[in-house]
Structure 1
Amino acid sequence: MIKKIVSEYSRIAFGVTIMTLGFYYFLLPENLVIGGTMGLAVLFKDHINPSIFLYIVNSFLLILGLLVLGKDFFLKTVFGTLASPTILFILELIGSDEAWIMNQITDSKLLIAAVSGSLLVGVGLGIVFRFGGTTGGMDVIQSIIHKKLHIPYQVIFFFTDGLVVILSLIFFRDIELFIYAVASVFLISIIVDNVSIKGRAGQTIFVITKKPELIKQAIYDTIDRGCTLIDAEGGFSGIASKMVICTMRNREVNMMRSVIERIDPEAFTFMTDTKEAVGRGFSKE
């Protein structure tokens, strides 16, 4: 149990590190605001160090979350909430120049910063969410609004983060910067979705066959997957048969398709996208 917890928190720490590096070296020097407390840190960076700003704001929100949402929420949030500003503080302490990468770029600086920063932030956040972590910050406000007003998370997310991005337009008065910031927010959301959920995705294949035992054994032997057998009956013919259901990774589909066709050419096979598969061979080995 302890080994599992250490493993999960190590991966969450890795995700937070990637996210923070993307923010520090790409988004921050180009004033790209992606919403949340990190976006606010960009807005006020000329007045207060981003790490100190995030410590203050995230700590306040953490205490607010403890008072309103309870101890369980606090315990789940405290690690990610403090990890990111700590990494920022270390980078500032060792004197790492936030612009050392971007200063070496001569053309399309905003585009490169937006794509590179979004990629790192999105992958980092996706890893954090995949292993049950959270980075706190604006998540606390969003959770409180959801609990008190019962507004869907997606609506709250676009409202709160969208408000911060709009503030960037007021602060910097740069429409090009604003457009890149909006694009970055959408790119990050797509990457987070792919890393946190679709990494566990696959295909679920349904096979209606008169040779279920042979199909089942072929699945075991070929791709080492479990399967489920249920009774089926033709709606028109009334002929009884079996349906074999198996979820597999995308790369295993073509392999099984040819095996099924060889075993029972008359089998009726269809498949659907599976957004997330949890269990042995997917989220557990």
Structure 2
Amino acid sequence: MKGDFSVKIGDVLRNIFCVILGGSLAAAALDFLLIPAGVAPGGISGLSAAICDVFKIPISVGTMIFILNVPLFVGGYLYIGRNFAVQSLIGTFVFSIMTNIFAPFTGYVTGILYGETAEYDRIICALWGGVILGAGLGFVFKGGATTGGSDIVARIVCKKFNQLSIGQTILICDFVVVFTVAVLYRSFSAAMYSAVAIFVSSKFIDTVEAGVNYARQLTIVTSKPDELSKVILSGVSRGVTKIEALGMYSSSPTNVLICVVYKSQIGKVQKLVSNCDPDAFTIVSDVRNVIGQFDHR
């Protein structure tokens, strides 16, 4: 019982750390890179930054992010559930607070980054801003929270129109934001820079949340499963799972071996397979994360 309690406390502390770290990184990207260069990322944060900048509204971007998310919290609570609404509220609150905390230091940090002339290279800001923003949001998601915005809209829309996926709906929301940015700034280039930031951040969200592609799965169709398994076990010290199968083209029984290895071991395994069974059919697939008994050496 005590051990289970310790594990739960550890998980809670890890989630809190991830949300605070992620919210801080995302806020830093917004305040120090994206907003100064006039680059609006996707979602409510990008829309808030563009509205505050164009209309000179005397409200901080962080506060605007929270205000625009309030009706979405209500919608999330009504259509999705309390837990999701609470998760969105926590993530958005941390993100908004950190954005407001970092905002007064924008001039100082940009002075260090760009010098006194403050000549922003917008493509660099879009790229690095997208990297840091995506990493931050990835940590927030990893901590079990969300930052609201497009995520809430996407889940509500998908619940009403199940022919759309969440990913497709978020992409549509981001395109709407990009179009809105183009209209507000009256600049096609502003929209393009925003699109770059959106694309880069989406890639880094996946990388941080799901893990780097450090491993590969080999699916090997072979007529020599026992010999090949022994070769792989002794050659790279990785476990192998054998599955009995049926070749539908030849209508003859065959065997499938499944093995997960590091990227650096792929070449060696391919040589082992080729030497042991030249007729083996091998498929190499990306593995985003490995949970369970995998030796992370």
Q: Do both proteins adopt the same fold according to a TM-score greater than 0.5, normalized to the shorter chain?
A: yes
Question: How far apart, CA to CA, are the structure 2 residues paired with 1:21 and 1:261?
Answer: 50
Cα-Cα RMSD: 3.2
CA deviation map 1:5-59 (0-9, x unaligned): 3223423432332222111111111221122111122123221111211232234
Corresponding residue of 1:35: 42
Seen in structure 2, the aligned counterparts of structure 1 residues 218 and 72 have a Cα distance that, compared at 3 Å, is: farther
Question: How far apart, CA to CA, are the structure 2 residues paired with 1:164 and 1:54?
Answer: 14
Are 2:152 and 1:140 equivalent residues in the alignment?
yes
Structure 2 counterpart SS, 1:206 = strand
Moved more, 116-125 or 275-284: 275-284
Deviation at 1:183, TM superposition (A): 2.4
Q: Percent identity?
A: 22
Question: How far apart, CA to CA, are the structure 1 residues paired with 2:24 and 2:38?
Answer: 20
Deviation at 1:220, TM superposition (A): 3.7
Deviation at 1:234, TM superposition (A): 6.6
> What is the TM-score when the length of structure 2 is the normalising length?
0.80
**Of 191, 205, 210, which aligns to 1:178?**
191
Are 2:62 and 1:51 equivalent residues in the alignment?
yes
Corresponding residue of 1:61: 72
Task: Give the counterpart letter for 1:49 in structure 2.
Answer: S
Question: How far apart, CA to CA, are the structure 2 residues paired with 1:138 and 1:237?
Answer: 49
For residues 119-138 of structure 1, the aligned pairs below 5 Å read 119-130=131-142, 132-138=144-150
Corresponding residue of 1:246: 259
Asked if the contact 1:80–1:135 (Cα under 8 Å) also holds between the matched residues in 2, the reply is: yes
**Of 57, 80, 84, which aligns to 2:91?**
80
CA deviation map 1:155-211 (0-9, x unaligned): 322332222221222222123222212222223233334444462564322334455
Corresponding residue of 1:270: 282
**Of 18, 43, 51, which aligns to 2:25?**
18
Seen in structure 2, the aligned counterparts of structure 1 residues 163 and 237 have a Cα distance that, compared at 3 Å, is: closer
**Of 75, 89, 97, which aligns to 2:100?**
89
Corresponding residue of 1:279: 291
Are 2:175 and 1:168 equivalent residues in the alignment?
no
Question: How far apart, CA to CA, are the structure 1 residues paired with 2:65 and 2:295?
Answer: 33
**Stretches of structure 1 lacking an aligned partner (at least 5 in a row):** none
Moved more, 202-211 or 13-22: 202-211
Asked if the contact 2:228–2:277 (Cα under 8 Å) also holds between the matched residues in 1, the reply is: no
Asked if the contact 2:19–2:143 (Cα under 8 Å) also holds between the matched residues in 1, the reply is: yes
Number of residue pairs the alignment of both structures matches: 283
Are 2:244 and 1:231 equivalent residues in the alignment?
yes
Are 2:174 and 1:156 equivalent residues in the alignment?
no
Question: How far apart, CA to CA, are the structure 1 residues paired with 2:119 and 2:137?
Answer: 28
Seen in structure 2, the aligned counterparts of structure 1 residues 11 and 49 have a Cα distance that, compared at 3 Å, is: same
Are 2:123 and 1:114 equivalent residues in the alignment?
no
> What is the TM-score when the length of structure 1 is the normalising length?
0.83
Task: Give the counterpart letter for 2:72 in structure 1.
Answer: L
**Stretches of structure 2 lacking an aligned partner (at least 5 in a row):** 1-6
Asked if the contact 2:223–2:280 (Cα under 8 Å) also holds between the matched residues in 1, the reply is: no
Structure 1 counterpart SS, 2:158 = helix
Question: How far apart, CA to CA, are the structure 2 residues paired with 1:56 and 1:283?
Answer: 46
Corresponding residue of 2:273: 260
Question: How far apart, CA to CA, are the structure 2 residues paired with 1:111 and 1:25?
Answer: 14
Question: How far apart, CA to CA, are the structure 1 residues paired with 2:81 and 2:253?
Answer: 54
Task: Give the counterpart letter for 1:146 in structure 2.
Answer: C
Are 2:201 and 1:188 equivalent residues in the alignment?
yes
